[in-house]
Amino acid sequence: MSSQFISFPKDFLWGAATSSFQIEGSPLADGAAKSNWYEWTKTPGRIADGTDGDVACDHYHNYKADVALMKLMGLKSYRFSLSWPRIIPERGRVNEKAIEFYRNLIHELNQAGIVPCATLFHWEVPVWAKGEWENRETAVAFQEYAEVVFKRLGKDVKIWATHNEPVVVSLLGYIWGFFPPGIMDRKIHARVVHHLNLAHGLAVQTFRQMNLGGEIGWVQALTTFRTTSTDPKDLQHAKNMEALHNGSYLDPSAGRGYPPFFFDYAKISSAEYEKDLKTIAQPLDFLGVNHYFPTYTRYVPGINLFDNDFTMPDGLPINDLGWPVVPEALYELLASLWKTYGFKKLLITENGLPTRDSVRSIEETIEDDLRVYYLGQYLANCHRAIQEGVPLKGYMAWSLMDNFEWCHGYDPRFGLIHVDFKTQKRTFKKSAKWYQKAIAENGFDVGLLPQNPSYKIFKAVGANARNF
């Protein structure tokens, strides 16, 4: 072994992740209800390339073959989500065919020796949930859905997550307006955050009451907040942005209540939120960390609803979506989470690289040295965190396969496995083969990663409104 070979703990959980709407296709099959995302994709102008998730990777029909590919890759775990509108087509009624689909998928995974990691909510809200997360009743309906799932599937799944990236739901749906329902309102945003937190707490309570064994946590999109300024206003603004993005979910979950800036930002009283804090603060078995880039801050009142200039410093490497590539930010984030909250178990539940068909050849897409380099650099920072005592127990690459990437459509590809969306042919990319070898050896040689990665270099031109 090279002196640059890094080994991971023997029980390290190597995996990959997907979500239901992004890969399953057949969103209305077998009696499923429409979701908010189904309707969003049918609204002209909402999806960059005008596509939808009606077929996607057709995983609904190809799940057995896809699990076989996971086994071939050597995955130890697979993180996927359940479709709430597929399982509960109307409140109080269970779609048995949907339960059968997920039961069969879970069976295939267990038979293949792959640990199923199931997420209850990855952004799909049934259309019957009027008002979506603005409505407190949606949190109660989510608890009812969780109870159904735990009763039917709980004994066969050992790792559960309630929500995936609720901060993305709240910010992109209720501040930026890019995701459904397309609202831009600070007060409504606060209400949505609270109801997402409440739904999470209620679901965890239900899980504990059923004594199912296994583990439950939730998955957060987390980032570090940086500023190149020394102005005290900018330094404080970075702290405020971190409180709003990270703290609005982590703090109440940890029993600390909401950060003060949460209420200052929305210009609301804390009184109506306090009655639910005990329910929200349920002990968790793990925190799932989704991380792609650090966020840059500078206080510019009125530039957007955050009063934040997101412009990055010149010279940063960026990926095909313009996101900064800063591997050490993942190490910094993990160390900070451990120090600040004392989590006993962390999992990287998403981390990955987009490449775009519109700027890269098919050869470069499949022989993806850039993704190999990216994964290696980020995993090396995971290893660094582990060496310093951070209880990081697994890494799940985003994503298992190319899929429907929400408002971007199909142009960005995050997959280890290439999908030809016309033929549904799956092909292992170079990154899949590298990951396969890393799993088999429980580590990799940092010195053998591809050199001279073909990142773009950021050049600041004016003030950008966002960097996602």
Positions marked catalytic: 165, 350
Half-sphere exposure of 411 (CA within 13 A, CB side): 13
- CA–CA dist 70, 114 (Å, integer): 8
Q: Which amino acid is at 147?
A: E
Cis peptide before 248 (omega within 30 of 0): no
Locate 76 and state its tokens.
Answer: 């130890």
What's the Cα-to-Cα distance from 406 to each of 36, 83, 177, 305, 413, rounded to whole Å? 12, 15, 14, 22, 12
- CA–CA dist 446, 13 (Å, integer): 19
Locate 318 and state its tokens.
Answer: 């960026």
Identify the helix (H) or strand (E) that includes residue 279: helix 277-280
* Residue from 432, 456, 454, 436 nearest 444 by CA: 436
What's the Cα-to-Cα distance from 17 to each of 52, 78, 199, rounded to whole Å? 20, 6, 23
Tell me, letter by letter, the H, E, C secondary structure of 321-335: CCCECCHHHHHHHHH
In three-state secondary structure terms, 50 is: coil
Locate 4 and state its tokens.
Answer: 């640059």
* Residue from 447, 441, 388 nearest 8 by CA: 441
Query: By the 8 A CB rule, do 429 and 366 touch?
Result: yes
- CA–CA dist 234, 153 (Å, integer): 48
